[in-house]
Amino acid sequence: MSALVTEATILPNRPGLTGRLSDFLWKHPHVLLAVLLGPPVLWLGIIYLGSLFALLLQSFFSIDDFSGLINYEFTLATYRQLLSDANFDIIVRTVTMAAVVTLFSALIAFPIAYYAARYAKGKWKAVFYLGIMLPLWSSYLVKIYAWKLILAKEGILTWAFAKLHLLWLLDAWLSLPVIGGNSLSVSYTGTFLVFVYVWMPFMILPIQAALERVPGNLIEASSDLGGTPQQTFRHVLFPLALPGIVAGSIFTFSLTLGDYIIPQIIGSSRLFIGQAVYAQQGTAGNIPLAAAFTVVPIVIMGLYLWMAKRLGAFDAL
C-alpha cells in the first residue's frame, strides 16, 4: 500500500514551543484575540481617549486673568468666555466654512466617484486611484504654498483670467463683501478653494466605495419600473450612496473644523477654531479656553452624526 496509509491518522505534535503554542491558541481562540487586540485597545483607551478626556477636563477649569495661572476649580467661566462675541465669531466662521466646503466637495466628488464606480475598468480604474491618491503623496505644506502662488494677484489664475478677458469677472467676485478681498489668496474664497482641493480625496473615496456596493441591476430595476434617470438618482442611487456621502462629509467637515494651517497661509487674517486653539494654548497660555475650543468640533460632529442617523443615512448599511 502507499506510504500515506501506513502513517498515523493523528499526526504527532509539531516539535518545540511554536508547536505547543499553535495547539494552545487553537484551543483558546479568545487568548489569541486578546493578544492581538490588547496593545491597540490599551493605546486607544489610555493614551488616546485618556488624553482627550484630560483635555476636556481642562475646559472646566479657568484661568486667573491677573496671574495667568490655571485655577483648578470646576467652573463654566471658560465656556462663558467661549461664547463671547469675538470667540463666537470664530466658531460661526469655522462652522460655515466647514459646511460650505463639505457641500461643494460632495457636489464635485459625486460625479467623479460615480464614474469610477460604474464605468472605470482596468487601466482607467488605476488612473482614477492614482489621480485621487497622488496629491496625498506630496507634502501638505508644499501644496498649500503652491496654491498661494496660484491664487496670488500675480499668480497663474489671474493671468488666465486676463488672457480670457474675464478679469472683470474675477474683480467683480473679489469686490463682493465677506467672500472677496484684495486677491484670491487673501480672501475666504481662496481658503475655500484650498480646503476643497486638499480634502477632496477623503470625500471621493467613501462615496466611490458606497456606489461600488450598489448593484447595477437596482438602477435597471428602477428604470424598468418607470423611473426616469432623475427619479432613479433621487430614490435609489442617492439613498444608497448616502452612507458614503456622510462618511466623506465627516472627513471634510471635521478636518476643516480642526485645520489651522490653511487659513493661516491663505485667507483673511481672521481666526478659525484651529488657529484659536493654537494661539490659546501657545502664546496666550490659556489652556482651558483652548480646550473649550476643541470641544466645539466634537459637539458639532456628535450633533451631525445624530442628525444623519435620524434622517436615515445609515439605514442601507
Selected from 22, 51, 96, 231, the binder of another protein by CB under 8 A is 231
Pick 62 or 232: Cβ nearer another protein: 232
308 lies in the binding site for another protein (CB under 8 A): no
121 lies in the binding site for another protein (CB under 8 A): no
212 lies in the binding site for another protein (CB under 8 A): no
Residue where the block lists cell 450633533 = 303
14 lies in the binding site for another protein (CB under 8 A): no
Whole-number Å distance between alpha carbons of 68 and 46: 30
Question: What are 63's three cell numbers?
Answer: 484661568
- Which helix (H) or strand (E) segment holds residue 62: the answer is strand 62-63
Whole-number Å distance between alpha carbons of 150 and 221: 46
Beta bridge partners of 62: 71
Selected from 186, 236, 266, 271, the binder of another protein by CB under 8 A is 236
122 lies in the binding site for another protein (CB under 8 A): no
Beta bridge partners of 71: 62
311 lies in the binding site for another protein (CB under 8 A): no
Q: With helix as H, strand as E and coil as C, how does 218-284 read?
A: HHHHHHHCCCCHHHHHHHHHHHHHHHHHHHHHHHHHHHHHHCCCHHHHCCCCCCCHHHHHHHHHCCC
Task: Report, in Å, the least distance between residue 240 CB and another protein.
Answer: 6
Selected from 23, 171, 212, 315, the binder of another protein by CB under 8 A is 315
Task: Report, in Å, the least distance between residue 238 CB and another protein.
Answer: 10
Question: What are 5's three cell numbers?
Answer: 496509509
Pick 16 or 215: Cβ nearer another protein: 215
Select from 68-76, 106-114, 216-224, 296-304 the region that touches another protein (CB under 8 A).
Answer: 216-224
Selected from 220, 270, 285, 309, the binder of another protein by CB under 8 A is 220
Select from 76-84, 154-162, 214-222, 251-259 the region that touches another protein (CB under 8 A).
Answer: 214-222
The number of angstroms, rounded, from the C-alpha of 310 to the middle of its chain's C-alpha atoms is: 21
Task: Report, in Å, the least distance between residue 234 CB and another protein.
Answer: 9
CB atoms within 10 A of CB 274: 23
Beta bridge partners of 70: 63
Site for another protein, rule CB under 8 A: 215, 217-218, 220-228, 231, 235-236, 239-240, 312, 315-316
